[in-house]
Amino acid sequence: MSLVEVTGLTKVFRRPVKDPGFRGALRHLVSPRYRDVTAVERVDLRIEPGEAVAYVGPNGAGKSTTVKLLTGIIVPTSGEVRVAGLSPHRDRIANARQVGVLFGQRSQLWWDLPVRESFTLLRDMYGVPDSLYRARMKRFDEVLDLGSILPVVARKLSLGQRMRADLAAALLHGPRIAYLDEPTIGLDIAVRDRVREFLRQLRDEGTTIMLTTHDLGDIEDVCERLVIIDRGRVIYDGSLAAVKDDFARERRIHLQLASPVPLASLSDRLPDAVVVAGDEPGEFTVTVDRFRQTAGAVISAVLPLAEVVELRIDEPAIEDVIRKVYAGELRLA
């Protein structure tokens, strides 16, 4: 049995339709009209214990709604959710014990109190034994440098500090599954790297992770599996490596040659590649299918024409694939 089993999950919201202006507002007061908006449509999803799944999609695709359905915050319109055998919205409290949730854009810290108070409250809420609590806090301090934040009133934290504290707060009770909704939003590079490192450790220790993010670096660092959702439907579900092999095949090789070479003669020598001249004389970008032509083959084809002074290779990134999917240029599966 999978840890998370989602079958035919659908959530329809009713949204008021208001005509523009004062008249529209008045009309809505007298005879309100509504339109149904399907946020999540017949989603099927299985997550095995210990998997790290990236759940991505453009804004408004239904990512957060899915997480809220999986955590029992909102009630599905139809379909079934099972998390370790529990129905999250019916067994909300039992389910809450086994999951940790981070909503990157909201804080669960008590705003008016020092951060430490939030942690002791969470300890009490989840019934974390004292020894375990101390061990975990020590660990959070090592990885997330939490110690310096603890005495600070939550309202005075910087975004990076707040996010680190919130991440620790979501994981204090050692959940089996962590739903992390944009855990690196707004963070500087140093903090982001730290958070990613922490997520990798968590994954290696066997915590199941569902990561919702716009930051594709998070995905490549932490996840092996990719689920893409668009307009409420899952449009891709498979391994990250497979997406790259299937769709991210273009490797770009930037060359700076010692002497100017006509574009045509370079193209003739590289029939399978696309060659584009750069701004400077002798500057070229060669785009090849990395499965059909190696970087070495490109270089040896160029060398008889001129010496290569500089060489830079852009590896295909998952980002390119997802950008194309969002833009509607690429249909997966």
Residues that bind other proteins (CB under 8 A): 13, 64, 68, 71-75, 92-94, 96-97, 99, 101, 103-106, 108, 110, 112-113, 117-118, 120-121, 123-127, 153, 181-182
The residue among 64 and 207 lying less far from other proteins, judged by its C-beta, is 64
For the CA atoms of 119, 120, 122, 127, the dihedral, rounded to the nearest 10 degrees, stands at 140
Q: Provide, rounded to whole angstroms, the least separation between the CB of residue 108 and other proteins.
A: 4
How crowded is the C-beta side of 114, counted as CA atoms within 13 Å? 10
Q: Provide, rounded to whole angstroms, the least separation between the CB of residue 282 and other proteins.
A: 49
Q: Provide, rounded to whole angstroms, the least separation between the CB of residue 279 and other proteins.
A: 42
Q: Provide, rounded to whole angstroms, the least separation between the CB of residue 111 and other proteins.
A: 8
For the CA atoms of 325, 326, 328, 329, the dihedral, rounded to the nearest 10 degrees, stands at -50
The residue among 5 and 91 lying less far from other proteins, judged by its C-beta, is 91
Q: Provide, rounded to whole angstroms, the least separation between the CB of residue 313 and other proteins.
A: 37
Q: Provide, rounded to whole angstroms, the least separation between the CB of residue 92 and other proteins.
A: 7
Q: Provide, rounded to whole angstroms, the least separation between the CB of residue 170 and other proteins.
A: 9
The residue among 107 and 161 lying less far from other proteins, judged by its C-beta, is 107
The residue among 121 and 317 lying less far from other proteins, judged by its C-beta, is 121
The residue among 39 and 302 lying less far from other proteins, judged by its C-beta, is 39
The residue among 107 and 293 lying less far from other proteins, judged by its C-beta, is 107
The residue among 96 and 325 lying less far from other proteins, judged by its C-beta, is 96
